[in-house]
Amino acid sequence: MSLPVNRFVNRPILATIHTDAFRHNLGRIRELAPQSKIWSVIKAKAYGHSLEAAFQGLESTDGFALLDIADAQWLRDHDWAGRILLLEGIFSLAELEFAIKLHCDLVVHNEQQVSWLETFKNHSGNPVNIFLKLNSGMNRLGFRPEQYRTAFHRLHSAGYHLHHMTHFANADQVDGLPSVGEQMECFEKAIEGLQAPSSLANSAAILWHRNALGDWVRPGIMLYGVSPTGVHADIVRSELQAVMHLRSEIIDIQELKKGDHVGYGGCYEAPEDMRIGVIACGYADGYPRHAEDGTPVWVDAADAKGEGVICPTVGRVSMDMLTVDLREAPNAKVGATVELWGNEVPVDDVAQMSGTIGYELICALAQRVPVLIK
Ligand SMILES: Cc1ncc(COP(=O)(O)O)c(C=O)c1O
């Protein structure tokens, strides 16, 4: 007998991916960048949300930007006829052939890729779109300004259709270096006189640097309703919606006596007699082991009035379970639904309590967690 995989089966944990939230967030990006086309960034299996869900929710995007050519293949196999951008281009000459067959646009960020493109004989008849990447100060990928023109002219002479591209290091920060202004200055100088469409902005630039968008924007994290800064208030202000809701249940309740210790290491000591709830979610599900005591978990119908209430974690997160303080949740029972992150608990808040960013948590959702696409 095969068990259904998309609903609670044995362990009551489930990540629900809300495709209507994807649609909403994409709509917000269109409002914020009405003159630009949108590359929806879906690398890392759509930041942990699954390609299937992203494809369903973001089908009205202008293109998908990703890293792994297998994901491009997946999109073509599912009849996506629109544009696909390989964000780090190709990693070998053999991959180039495959990428062209799949009609991918390519980022080109180094000399080796330029050489491969020069030697490659394109028999497909389709002009290949290149997004030539300038290192305008982030010092990760891209040509330095003094090398950029040569690369541009070489690819232009080889018959490619060129676009200018750069990536911001600090669009989410007020005083980070290099600033968006410095990177823009570098970019504008480097491309002077070289006519081509441009692609500049990530989520933070779309939200806060509307003068630095370009013809194609490249939103990632904001599509998922998560903040580029890690501050959830930015998501509220920007009217974005969480796409991934990670939920589970209370599977046991312990009645502690004052002075009892909880979990591995006994890190939490009960300050008084109290109830704690044991939740079926641990670090092997992608919940951060370093979440501090006090990380919020929402428990449904649990307060004195039967409303949902935020309960703080207590004790160390273990592989399959975590524990929460139920003192504010007198109605909490075994079987109560809890939300680890989503609508009631911003993933940004969980990340902050764990010394990381929402990007990492959503990308690290474990394979063993069933996903329901809604
Ligand atoms: C080149 C490039 N563009 C766009 C993005 C999307 O960034 P964000 O998720 O911050 O919007 C990324 C993600 O890291 C990226 O590497």
- Classified as helix, coil or strand, 61 is coil
What are 197-252's pLDDT values in tens digits? 999 999 999 999 999 999 999 999 999 999 999 999 999 999 999 999 999 999 99
Predicted confidence band at 29 (pLDDT cuts at 50, 70, 90)?
Answer: very high
The domain boundary, picked from 184, 205, 232, lies at 232
**Is the CB of 218 inside a 6 Å radius of any atom of ligand 1?**
yes
Q: Are residues 94 and 198 in the same domain?
A: yes
Q: How far is the CA of 169 from the centre of ligand 1 (A)?
A: 10
Q: Within a domain: residue 6?
A: no
- Checking if the pLDDT of 8 tops 70, the result is no
- Checking if the pLDDT of 3 tops 50, the result is no
| Whether the bond into 178 is cis, omega within 30 of 0 | yes
What single-letter amino acid sits at 341? W
d(CA 213, CA 37): 10
Q: How far is the CA of 297 from the centre of ligand 1 (A)?
A: 29
Q: Ligand 1, closest atom to CA 167? A: 1
Question: Whose CA is closest to 301, among 239, 250, 374?
Answer: 250
Q: Ligand 1, closest atom to CA 43? A: 13
**Is the CB of 87 inside a 6 Å radius of any atom of ligand 1?**
yes
Q: Are residues 50 and 191 in the same domain?
A: yes
Residues 24, 27, 28, 29, CA torsion sign: positive
- Classified as helix, coil or strand, 23 is helix
Q: Would you tell me how many other CB atoms lie within 10 Å of the CB of residue 123?
A: 8
The more confident residue out of 9 and 195 is 195
Mutating to test ligand 1, I would choose from 108, 198, 218 the residue with most ligand atoms within 8 A of its C-beta, which is 218
Q: Are residues 265 and 207 in the same domain?
A: no
Q: Are residues 76 and 218 in the same domain?
A: yes
**Is the CB of 220 inside a 6 Å radius of any atom of ligand 1?**
yes
- Checking if the pLDDT of 2 tops 70, the result is no
Q: Decide if 102 contacts 73 (C-beta within 8 A).
A: yes
What rounded mean pLDDT belongs to the chain? 94
Predicted confidence band at 10 (pLDDT cuts at 50, 70, 90)?
Answer: confident
Q: Within a domain: residue 134?
A: yes
Q: Within a domain: residue 174?
A: yes
Question: Whose CA is closest to 336, among 306, 295, 313?
Answer: 306
Q: Ligand 1, closest atom to CA 47? A: 9
The domain boundary, picked from 232, 257, 291, lies at 232
Is 264 one of the annotated active-site residues of the chain?
A: yes
**Is the CB of 203 inside a 6 Å radius of any atom of ligand 1?**
yes
* CATH number of the domain to which 193 belongs: 3.20.20.10
Q: Within a domain: residue 13?
A: no
Q: Are residues 81 and 187 in the same domain?
A: yes
Q: Are residues 338 and 210 in the same domain?
A: no
Q: How far is the CA of 49 from the centre of ligand 1 (A)?
A: 16
Query: Any idea how long the chain is?
Result: 374
- Checking if the pLDDT of 287 tops 70, the result is yes
- Catalytic one among 37, 43, 45, 257? 43
Q: Are residues 134 and 264 in the same domain?
A: no
Instruction: Specify the range with the lowest mean pLDDT, choosing from 7-16, 57-66, 96-105, 260-269.
Output: 7-16
Q: Are residues 148 and 252 in the same domain?
A: no
Total number of domains constituting the chain: 2
Q: How far is the CA of 256 from the centre of ligand 1 (A)?
A: 46
Q: Are residues 202 and 251 in the same domain?
A: no
Average of per-residue pLDDT across 328-338 = 96
What pLDDT is recorded for position 58?
A: 98
d(CA 241, CA 226): 8
**Residues near 294 by beta carbon (within 8 Å), at least 6 away in sequence:** 312, 313, 353
What pLDDT is recorded for position 242?
A: 98
- Catalytic one among 101, 258, 264, 374? 264
Alpha-carbon separation of residue 127 from 73, 84, 186, 262, 310 (angstroms)? 19, 14, 29, 63, 55
Q: Within a domain: residue 338?
A: yes
What pLDDT is recorded for position 1?
A: 47
What pLDDT is recorded for position 301?
A: 86
Q: Within a domain: residue 279?
A: yes
Predicted confidence band at 302 (pLDDT cuts at 50, 70, 90)?
Answer: confident
The domain boundary, picked from 182, 200, 232, lies at 232
What single-letter amino acid sits at 141? L
Report helix angle 145-157 to 111-119, nearest 10. Answer: 10
Domain that holds residue 32: 19-232
Q: Would you tell me how many other CB atoms lie within 10 Å of the CB of residue 143?
A: 23
Q: Are residues 128 and 25 in the same domain?
A: yes
Nearest CA, atom 6, ligand 1:
220
Nearest CA, atom 16, ligand 1:
87
What are 132-150's pLDDT values in tens digits? 999 999 999 999 999 999 9
What are 82-129's pLDDT values in tens digits? 999 999 999 999 999 999 999 999 999 999 999 999 998 777 777 899
Q: How far is the CA of 80 from the centre of ligand 1 (A)?
A: 21
* CATH number of the domain to which 299 belongs: 2.40.37.10
Is 47 one of the annotated active-site residues of the chain?
A: no
What pLDDT is recorded for position 126?
A: 78
What are 303-318's pLDDT values in tens digits? 889 899 999 999 999 9
**Is the CB of 57 inside a 6 Å radius of any atom of ligand 1?**
no
Q: Within a domain: residue 2?
A: no
What pLDDT is recorded for position 261?
A: 97
Q: Are residues 228 and 255 in the same domain?
A: no
What pLDDT is recorded for position 9?
A: 59
What pLDDT is recorded for position 34?
A: 97
**Is the CB of 311 inside a 6 Å radius of any atom of ligand 1?**
no
Q: Are residues 195 and 281 in the same domain?
A: no
Q: Within a domain: residue 5?
A: no
- SS3 readout for 306-344: CCCEEEEECCCCCCCCEEEECCCCCCCCCCCEEEEECCC
Predicted confidence band at 356 (pLDDT cuts at 50, 70, 90)?
Answer: very high
Q: How far is the CA of 294 from the centre of ligand 1 (A)?
A: 31
d(CA 169, CA 14): 34
Mutating to test ligand 1, I would choose from 37, 38, 41, 203 the residue with most ligand atoms within 8 A of its C-beta, which is 41
- Checking if the pLDDT of 7 tops 60, the result is no
Q: How far is the CA of 313 from the centre of ligand 1 (A)?
A: 32
Q: Ligand 1, closest atom to CA 359? A: 9
